[in-house]
C-alpha cells in the first residue's frame, strides 16, 4: 500500500474486508466492535438491509445524471428532507466541507449588498479541510503556515461565554456559524441558553445563524438535528456524515430569507445529489423515522456515559456528550503517559474501533443501530485497556 495512497491519512494497522451491523471483519477474519462508524458516517451500521436494497435497486436503474436535470429520487429525497427539517431549500454536495463551503458562500452573498462579509465562528470549532473551511475553523493547529494565505473574513469567539456576546457582532457580521456539539474540538457541549443568546445577538445586527450539523445531524445526538435541542432555529443547516449511510453526500439547507440567496450558477457540484446518494438518503431517513428509533439513540448514549462514569477509574477525567456522540477525557496515571491515540491503538489490537478528538479525548460515534450487547462487549474491552 505505501507509495499508492498519499501518506496524509495516518491509517491504523488493519485492513477491513466486510461488516455486519456494528461489527467489522479484517482480512484475517478477526472481528471488531465498531465505535467509529466511519467517523459518524455509517449511521445504520454495515450492510443494513434497507440501505443495501435501496442502493442496489437504484444502481440498477440510474447512478448519476448531470444536475442540468432533476431525478425522481432526487426530488423525492429533497422533499422528504426539507419536510423532516422544516427548512425551505436544499443544495446537495458530496461532503461536509463542501456543504460548509456552500454555507459560507451563501452568507457572503447574503451580506454583500450591505457590506456584511464577516463570519463569526467559535474557538475549538472545526468546519472542514478546504482552505476556506480551515479559515473558519477556530483551532490554530489546523492553520499551518504551509497552507497560507487563508481567506480573510472570519473571527472567533469563545463558546458558552456570555460576556463575549456584547462585542461579538456588528454591522459587518454576515453570519454566526457554530457546531451544536464541537466534534473535532473535543466533543465539547454548547450550552442551550448561550446558543439562544448568541443567535439572538447575531440576528439583532441582521446576521444569519448557520448550524454546522455535519457530525451532529441525522440523529447522532438523539434528535434528527442537534439544533432542535439548542432552540436556535438556524437559517442555514449543513449536513453530511450519516445523511446517506456511507454513500458520499453533503447538504446545505436554508430557510426564510436565506433560501432565496443563490441563483443559477452561484454554486454547483458535479456529483452532488446524484440518484444513488439520494436513494441512500431516503433509506436512512425512513429508518430514522421509525417509531422510537431516535429515543433509543438517546438511551444508548445515556447508558454508555453512565457506565463509563460508574467505573470511577482515576485516568478517566470526564465523560460528556449527547446521544451517541460521546467524549471521554483520559490521562496517563502513575508512570504512564498514555495518550488517547495510545489507548485507541491498544483497543484496536483487542478488537474495538475507537476514534480520538485531540491528544487526551476518546471519541465514540458508534452506529445508531448498535445493540446493547455490542456496547457492553466494547466497553468491557475499553475498561480493561484503561485499567
Give 102-151 pLDDT, tens digit per residue.
Answer: 999 999 999 998 899 999 999 999 999 999 999 999 999 999 999 999 99
- pLDDT tens column, 181-221: 999 999 999 999 999 999 999 999 999 999 999 999 999 99
Please, which residues bridge with residue 234 across strands? none
pTM of structure:
0.96
* CATH fold for the domain made of 16-34+292-386: 3.90.1150
Q: What is the DSSP secondary-structure string of 199-267?
A: HHHHHHTT-EEEEE-TTTTTTTTSSSSTHHHHT---SEEEE-GGGGBTB--EEEEE-GGGGGS--TTSS
Which DSSP category does 167 fall into?
Answer: G
Q: Which residue has the cell 456494528?
A: 22
Q: Domain residue spans in the chain?
A: 16-34+292-386, 50-288
CA dist 187 to 179, 228, 231, 246, Å? 10, 18, 19, 22
- pLDDT tens column, 297-353: 999 999 999 999 999 999 999 999 999 999 999 986 555 678 999 999 999 999 999
* CATH fold for the domain made of 50-288: 3.40.640
Amino acid at each position: 500500500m505505501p507509495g499508492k495512497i498519499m501518506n496524509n491519512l495516518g491509517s491504523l494497522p488493519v485492513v477491513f474486508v466486510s461488516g455486519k451491523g456494528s461489527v467489522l471483519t479484517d482480512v484475517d477474519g478477526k472481528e471488531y466492535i465498531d465505535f467509529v462508524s466511519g467517523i459518524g458516517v455509517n449511521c445504520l451500521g454495515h450492510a443494513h438491509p434497507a440501505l443495501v436494497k435501496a442502493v442496489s435497486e437504484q444502481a440498477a436503474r440510474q447512478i448519476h445524471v448531470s444536475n442540468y436535470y432533476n431525478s425522481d429520487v432526487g426530488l423525492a429525497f429533497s422533499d422528504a428532507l426539507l419536510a423532516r427539517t422544516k427548512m425551505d431549500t436544499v443544495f446537495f454536495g458530496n461532503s461536509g466541507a463542501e456543504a460548509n463551503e456552500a454555507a459560507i458562500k451563501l452568507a457572503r452573498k447574503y451580506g454583500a449588498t450591505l457590506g456584511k462579509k464577516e463570519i463569526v465562528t467559535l474557538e475549538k470549532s472545526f468546519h472542514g479541510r478546504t482552505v476556506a473551511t480551515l479559515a473558519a475553523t477556530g483551532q490554530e493547529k489546523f492553520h499551518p503556515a504551509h497552507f497560507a494565505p487563508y481567506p480573510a473574513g472570519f473571527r472567533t469567539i469563545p463558546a458558552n461565554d456570555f460576556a463575549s456576546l456584547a462585542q461579538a457582532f456588528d454591522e459587518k457580521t454576515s453570519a454566526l456559524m457554530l457546531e451544536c456539539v464541537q466534534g473535532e474540538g473535543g466533543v465539547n457541549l454548547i450550552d442551550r441558553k448561550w446558543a439562544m443568546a448568541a443567535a439572538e445577538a447575531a440576528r439583532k445586527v441582521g446576521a444569519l445563524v448557520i448550524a454546522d450539523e455535519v457530525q451532529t445531524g441525522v440523529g447522532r445526538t438523539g434528535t434528527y438535528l442537534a439544533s432542535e435541542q439548542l432552540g436556535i432555529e438556524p437559517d442555514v443547516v449543513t449536513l453530511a456524515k450519516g445523511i446517506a449511510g456511507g454513500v458520499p453526500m453533503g447538504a446545505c439547507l436554508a430557510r426564510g430569507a436565506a433560501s432565496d440567496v443563490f441563483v443559477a450558477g452561484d454554486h454547483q457540484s458535479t456529483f452532488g445529489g446524484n440518484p444513488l446518494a439520494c436513494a441512500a438518503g431516503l433509506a436512512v431517513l425512513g429508518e430514522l423515522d421509525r417509531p422510537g428509533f431516535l429515543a433509543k439513540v438517546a438511551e444508548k448514549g445515556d447508558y454508555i456515559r453512565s457506565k463509563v462514569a460508574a467505573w470511577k477509574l482515576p485516568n478517566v477525567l470526564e465523560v460528556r456528550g449527547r446521544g451517541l456522540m460521546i467524549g471521554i477525557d483520559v490521562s496517563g496515571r502513575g508512570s504512564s503517559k498514555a495518550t488517547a491515540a495510545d489507548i485507541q491503538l491498544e483497543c484496536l489490537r483487542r478488537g474495538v474501533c475507537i476514534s480520538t478528538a485531540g491528544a487526551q479525548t476518546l471519541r465514540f460515534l458508534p452506529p445508531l443501530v448498535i445493540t446493547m450487547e455490542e456496547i457492553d462487549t466494547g466497553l468491557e474491552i475499553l475498561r480493561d485497556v484503561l485499567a
